[in-house]
C-alpha cells in the first residue's frame, strides 16, 4: 500500500532502524547542516530534530540518505525493480485486434489508477492562514557559512502553463528575504521558468504553490526530468501505485497534494527580480549570487503540528545523490526506447549528476560511440552532460576501476576525444560563459578497422574456464583461506 503521507514513511523508517530522533535543541543556522553532513557522508539514517531553536516544528532531513532508504521510500526491493516496472509500462503498444484490446483492458485500468484525483479537503488544510501569512514559523536552514541567508531546499513548486493549463511541479530552492518574500530560483531550462516567461510576455503574474513534505514518492516526482507536458503527479501516481489526491489552494488557482505537511501560496510578478544567493550547492561549491524572480506569500496552510522536511546539498555523497540514483535507474528504460543499443549508463556521485555520464553500448558500426554521445546531448536535460564516456557492452559502468582500466587502454587521446559547444548547466562555474560552453566525449570502445585502426587489437587476459573450475575445486587444499 502507498504511504498515506510523510508520517507513514517516518514510521516505516523508524521501524527499520533507519531513523534517529534528536531530542537535544539544535540551531537551524549551520548546526543542523554540520550534523547532517557527517551522517550523510557515511550513508547514515534519517534524522528527526525534535527541538529546533526558534521554531515549534520538528525538522526531518536525510530521509533519502541511502539506497536502502530510497527503496523503502518507493516501496521496492531494489531500484532495478522500479526500472523493470517502468520498462513494462513503456512496452505498451496500440492493440491491433479485438482480442488484443480485451487483453489490454486490465493494464489500461491499472494505468488509470495512477491519474491524479481532485478532492475537496485534506490534511494540509487543517490550519489556514490567509491574513498576514509569514515564513517566520518555518525552521528554514542557513546551510553553509557563505550562504546569502536561509533557504527552503525541498519545495515542490507548482505552476500552470498560461496557454495550455498544463501543470508543472519542480524542486527549486527559495531564499527567504523577509517574512513574506523569497527568491524563486528556477533556471531558464526548467518548466516553472518557462511558465513564468510565458506569463511575463503576456504581462501577467505567475501564480505559484509550494508543497512541503508530502509522501516520499510525490516528493521524488518533482526531481524527475519528465518530458514537457507530462504531469509529475501522474509519475507520482505510478511510483506510489495510487492516485495523488490534490486539493485546491486558498488564494491561487492551483492544486497541491492534500497530504502535504505545509503549503505556501503566492505569486511572482513578471519583471521583479532580486539578488539571490550565494548558496552552497550540490556541486560542492557555492553558486554565486544572481538576480531571480521574487515569490510573494499570500497564504500558508498546514497540518496540525506540522513536520518540516528539508535537505542539504554539497560535496558528495549526500542525500540528493541517492535521489539521483533512483532517477538514473528510472531513466534507463526510457533511454533504451530511444537508443536501444545502450546497455547501461551511470552518473557517479562525484560527477554531481551532469559532469560525468558513463554509457555502455552494444557497438554495431563504425562511429557508433560518437553517435551515442551526440544523441545524449540532444535529449532534454541530458544536454548538460559535460563529459560522456562510451564503453563496450562488457564493461561494468558502476566499477570505476574497470572503466578507468578499459578506457585508458582503449583510447588514443587525439583520435578518440572530441569537443562540442552547447548549453551547459547553470551551476557550472567553470564554463566560459553562463549557460554556454564546451562538452567532451570519449570513445572508450575497442577500435575497428573500419574506424581507421589497422593494427591488430590484442585479446584481454582471461583464464580458461577449465583451470578456473579446477582451482575453485581445490582451493581448500592450498590452505589460502
Instruction: Indicate which CATH number applies to the domain containing 367.
Output: 3.40.1670.10
**279-317: per-residue pLDDT in tens?**
999 999 999 999 999 999 999 999 999 999 999 999 999
Choice among 5, 281, 320, 344 that is catalytic: 281
359 and 289 within one domain: no
Q: Which three cell numbers stand for residue 74?
A: 518507493
Q: Which three cell numbers stand for residue 151?
A: 533557504
150 and 32 within one domain: yes
* In a domain? residue 466: no
122 and 219 within one domain: yes
| pLDDT exceeds 90 at position 395 | yes
What's the pLDDT score for residue 407?
A: 97
142 and 44 within one domain: yes
What's the pLDDT score for residue 283?
A: 93
* In a domain? residue 1: no
How far apart CA 257 and CA 158 sit, in angstroms, is 10
* In a domain? residue 200: yes
More confident residue, 107 or 156: 156
Enumerate the H helices of 269-367 as residue ranges: 319-338
Instruction: Indicate which CATH number applies to the domain containing 122.
Output: 2.30.110.10
| pLDDT exceeds 70 at position 90 | no
What's the pLDDT score for residue 89?
A: 62
Query: Range of 295's domain?
Result: 6-310
The residue whose grid cell reads 508543472 is 168
Average pLDDT over residues 2-21: 97
| pLDDT exceeds 90 at position 107 | no
Q: Which three cell numbers stand for residue 69?
A: 532508504
How far apart CA 207 and CA 249 sit, in angstroms, is 11
| pLDDT exceeds 90 at position 27 | yes
303 and 179 within one domain: yes
* In a domain? residue 236: yes
Q: Which three cell numbers stand for residue 318?
A: 549526500
Strand partners, 358: 346, 389
Contact 243, 113 (CB under 8 A): yes
How far apart CA 84 and CA 46 sit, in angstroms, is 27
Confidence bin at 108 (pLDDT 50/70/90)? low
Average pLDDT over residues 430-451: 94
393 and 273 within one domain: no
The strand pair at 46-49 and 19-22 is best described as parallel
165 and 259 within one domain: yes
- For residue 281, indicate whether it is catalytic: yes
Confidence bin at 91 (pLDDT 50/70/90)? low
What's the pLDDT score for residue 341?
A: 97
DSSP symbols for 55-105:
-SS-EEE-TT-SHHHHHHHHT-S-HHHHHHHHHHHHT-----SHHHHHHHH
The residue whose grid cell reads 491519474 is 115
Enumerate the H helices of 339-367 as residue ranges: none
Map 149-197 to HEC letters: CCEECCCEEEEECCCCCCEEEECCCEEECCCCEEECCCCCCCHHHHHHH
Cα–Cα distances (Å) from 292 to 173, 210, 222, 279, 428, in that order, read 11, 17, 20, 13, 17
* In a domain? residue 460: no
CA angle 408, 411, 412 (to 5 degrees): 125
363 and 247 within one domain: no
Average pLDDT, the chain: 93
247 and 105 within one domain: yes
* In a domain? residue 474: no
Domain count, the chain: 2
Which helix (H) or strand (E) element contains residue 402? helix 400-410
149 and 42 within one domain: yes
Confidence bin at 266 (pLDDT 50/70/90)? very high
343 and 289 within one domain: no
Contact 417, 441 (CB under 8 A): yes
* In a domain? residue 332: no
Contact 231, 244 (CB under 8 A): no
Average pLDDT over residues 228-237: 88
Average pLDDT over residues 379-402: 95
Dihedral over Cα of 187, 188, 190, 196: its sign: positive
**153-177: per-residue pLDDT in tens?**
999 999 999 999 999 999 999 999 9
Q: Which three cell numbers stand for residue 215?
A: 509522501
What's the pLDDT score for residue 424?
A: 92
Cis before 278? omega within 30: yes
* In a domain? residue 464: no
Amino acid at each position: 500500500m502507498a504511504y498515506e503521507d510523510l508520517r507513514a514513511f517516518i514510521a516505516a523508517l523508524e521501524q527499520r532502524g533507519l531513523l534517529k530522533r534528536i531530542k537535544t535543541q539544535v540551531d537551524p543556522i549551520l548546526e543542523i547542516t554540520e550534523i547532517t553532513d557527517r551522517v550523510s557522508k557515511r550513508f547514515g539514517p534519517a534524522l528527526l530534530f525534535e527541538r529546533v531553536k526558534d521554531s515549534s516544528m520538528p525538522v526531518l532531513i536525510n530521509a533519502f540518505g541511502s539506497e536502502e532508504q530510497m527503496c523503502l521510500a518507493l516501496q521496492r526491493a531494489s531500484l532495478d525493480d522500479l526500472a523493470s516496472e517502468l520498462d513494462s509500462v513503456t512496452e505498451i503498444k496500440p492493440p491491433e485486434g479485438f482480442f488484443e484490446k480485451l487483453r489490454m483492458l486490465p493494464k489500461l485500468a491499472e494505468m488509470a489508477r495512477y491519474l491524479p484525483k481532485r478532492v475537496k479537503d485534506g490534511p494540509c488544510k487543517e490550519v489556514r492562514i490567509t491574513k498576514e501569512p509569514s515564513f517566520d514559523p518555518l525552521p528554514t536552514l542557513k546551510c553553509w557559512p557563505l550562504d546569502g541567508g536561509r533557504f527552503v531546499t525541498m519545495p515542490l513548486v507548482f505552476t500552470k502553463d498560461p496557454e495550455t493549463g498544463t501543470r508543472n511541479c519542480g524542486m527549486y530552492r527559495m531564499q527567504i528575504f523577509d517574512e513574506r518574500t523569497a527568491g524563486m530560483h528556477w533556471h531558464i531550462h526548467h518548466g516553472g521558468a518557462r511558465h513564468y516567461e510565458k506569463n511575463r510576455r503576456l504581462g501577467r503574474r505567475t501564480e505559484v504553490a509550494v508543497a512541503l513534505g508530502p509522501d516520499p514518492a510525490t516528493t521524488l516526482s518533482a526531481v524527475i526530468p519528465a518530458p514537457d507536458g507530462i504531469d509529475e503527479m501522474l509519475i507520482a501516481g505510478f511510483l506510489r501505485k495510487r492516485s495523488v489526491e490534490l486539493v485546491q489552494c486558498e488564494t491561487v488557482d492551483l492544486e497541491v497534494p492534500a497530504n502535504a505537511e505545509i503549503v505556501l501560496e503566492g505569486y511572482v510578478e513578471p519583471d521583479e527580480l532580486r539578488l539571490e544567493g550565494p548558496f552552497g550547492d550540490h556541486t560542492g561549491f557555492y553558486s554565486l549570487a544572481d538576480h531571480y524572480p521574487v515569490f510573494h506569500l499570500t497564504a500558508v496552510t498546514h497540518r496540525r503540528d506540522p513536520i518540516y522536511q528539508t535537505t542539504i546539498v554539497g560535496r558528495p555523497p549526500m542525500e540528493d545523490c541517492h535521489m539521483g540514483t533512483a532517477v538514473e535507474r528510472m531513466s534507463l528504460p526510457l533511454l533504451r526506447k530511444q537508443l536501444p543499443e545502450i546497455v547501461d549508463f551511470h552518473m557517479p556521485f562525484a560527477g554531481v549528476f551532469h559532469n560525468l555520464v558513463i554509457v555502455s553500448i552494444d557497438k554495431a558500426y563504425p562511429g557508433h560511440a560518437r553517435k551515442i554521445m551526440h544523441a545524449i546531448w540532444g535529449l532534454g536535460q541530458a544536454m548538460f552532460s559535460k563529459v560522456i564516456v562510451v564503453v563496450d557492452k562488457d564493461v561494468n559502468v558502476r566499477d570505476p576501476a574497470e572503466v578507468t582500466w578499459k578506457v585508458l587502454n582503449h583510447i588514443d587521446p587525439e583520435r578518440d576525444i572530441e569537443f562540442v559547444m552547447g548549453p551547459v548547466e547553470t551551476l557550472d562555474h567553470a564554463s566560459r560563459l553562463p549557460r554556454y560552453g564546451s562538452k567532451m566525449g570519449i570513445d572508450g570502445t575497442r577500435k575497428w578497422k573500419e574506424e581507421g585502426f589497422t593494427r591488430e587489437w590484442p585479446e584481454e587476459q582471461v583464464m580458461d574456464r577449465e583451470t578456473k573450475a579446477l582451482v575453485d575445486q581445490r582451493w581448500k587444499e592450498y590452505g589460502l583461506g
